[in-house]
Structure 1
């Protein structure tokens, strides 16, 4: 596979957005890259595809700006470019939550890396002996492609619905360690800060999201693929384009799996699967085409 796909984000204050947009777009076009980049006052969020040489050239160019010097990309490969064009868009937020007091640039919530989370899941508790609750911060159509089977899945239609879901269910997390996760880290970073803001304790974000977990932990404890916001639809645990899941392996609802006994599920798998669109639906355009 000759095409390199990257996803990356960085929370950093940007105040020259129109000029920056033109510079970034010109550089991408000069390198014949395809994908989507979002720019907002709070930072940058990008998914790009091209050859190894052109992607490396773009990242090197971006790192020349001190604001993006710490930006790190998650990588995956494909046979063809999974984007039709190159877009650089200006947004109010690089990931929409509508909670202006949450400013990740000012300080991150604690993070847990992939090997540590795998070890916690292997042993059934964190290093302090607390139960670990995984919180999926993604949209419902993403969790339908794959998830940690025991994770909390609120079946949200957009990230902005997460605060209300947490407010109605906060007691679930009392006395436990909570790890929020998402595709590449951006949503779980904001989610973890929000959980701290509302007084939740022992909150972590999964460093680098699902894509970094696949890379560093081999996808242990994961079921299915990981939805990505391009024409691949999803990637598997090897970060290769994922085939559609057989119906018997389809992830169910609210963190429960369709291959679990019916008495343990609390829902009808056939009914749940009938609601799943085919092919996979497009992302919510109001949230921006690029998530992580």
Structure 2
């Protein structure tokens, strides 16, 4: 059984290369895989390993001055969620492209998972899903507004076009684990919106804590690891991944003519060129060869 830790923390970091080296070294020594993003504003990522290894990593991160107060969410998977480790330096740990947005200064008010249903059912509350369109497509809260954004960078432009719709209303926002809402609510506060709220711990915390018979969540929640999607109780969902476009697909989508393992699915077949598909085929070929070598090694 693998323990999965989803974590993020906004904190100023001065020496990124040194931190990258020490974090990567610790993960490698603990045989942890997954992705961690480091930027001058903090850390974000999801990693997996044995329970003991994840516990040790979290203790290690918590001892670093930059990550004092680090919070995380844990879940489990019977299958290995990641096949390699990535510790990358980025401009932002979640890319919004708004230089003046700083969640360390001001964010929306947190709403605990246990209070979320009652809060969003208030007549003066508008609920906005801050995730990308392919994530919303497989699950969201009842009545939530879908901005239909292709990436988080698109959210400020969407808000600018639609903000008059939400005058004199309280804005409630949610995302997968909470990090996007740290920035989206901070952005709205900077735009002069007073009553901004967001789901503490995100959808993952809600699905972990709220029983299905009390839930206002419909569908599955897309996650950025090998599970692809989870449902209530964080049970693994039915979705698989198209490695051509990184979007979730259902098992029946594999039978469609446009599906080719590692290359395309019905959602992206017309979006990529012939050259793209040839490159994806070569990548898939190398993945399969690597798996064979691993299986044959003593």
- The number of residues matched between the two structures is 244
Query: What is the aligned partner in structure 2 of residue 240 from structure 1?
Result: 235
User: Would the aligned equivalents of 2:209 and 2:233 in 1 still touch at CA under 8 Å?
Assistant: no
Moved more, 108-117 or 226-235: 108-117
Higher helix proportion, which one? 2
The 2-side partners of 1:110 and 1:120 are apart by: 12
- Structure 1 position 100, deviation (Å): 1.1
Alignment of 1:202 onto 2:195: yes
User: Please, what is the CA RMSD of the aligned residues?
Assistant: 1.9
Distance in 1 separating the partners of 2:126 and 2:79: 37
Instruction: State the 1:54 CA deviation.
Output: 0.6
Q: What TM-score, normalized to structure 1?
A: 0.79
Partner of 1:110: 109
1:140 aligns with 2:139: no
Q: Distance in 1 between matches of 2:17 and 2:137?
A: 37
The structure that has the greater radius of gyration is 2
TM-score (norm 2): 0.78
Contact 1:233 1:280 in 2 (8 A): no
2:18 is aligned to 19
Query: Gaps (5+ residues) in structure 1?
Result: 246-276, 282-292
Q: Distance in 1 between matches of 2:92 and 2:69?
A: 19
- Per-residue deviation at 1:3? 1.0
Distance in 2 separating the partners of 1:110 and 1:78: 32
Q: How much does 1:278 deviate? A: 4.8
Residue deviations 1:129-163 (CA, integer Å, cap 9, x gap): x4221111111111112111311101111001001
1:34–1:81 CA contact under 8 A, matched in 2: no
Determine which structure has greater relative contact order: mean sequence separation of CA pairs < 8 Å that are 6+ residues apart, divided by chain length. Answer: 1
C-alpha separation between the residues in 2 aligned to 1:244 and 1:26? 33
Runs of 4+ in 1 over 6 A off after TM superposition: none
Q: Distance in 2 between matches of 1:225 and 1:280?
A: 18
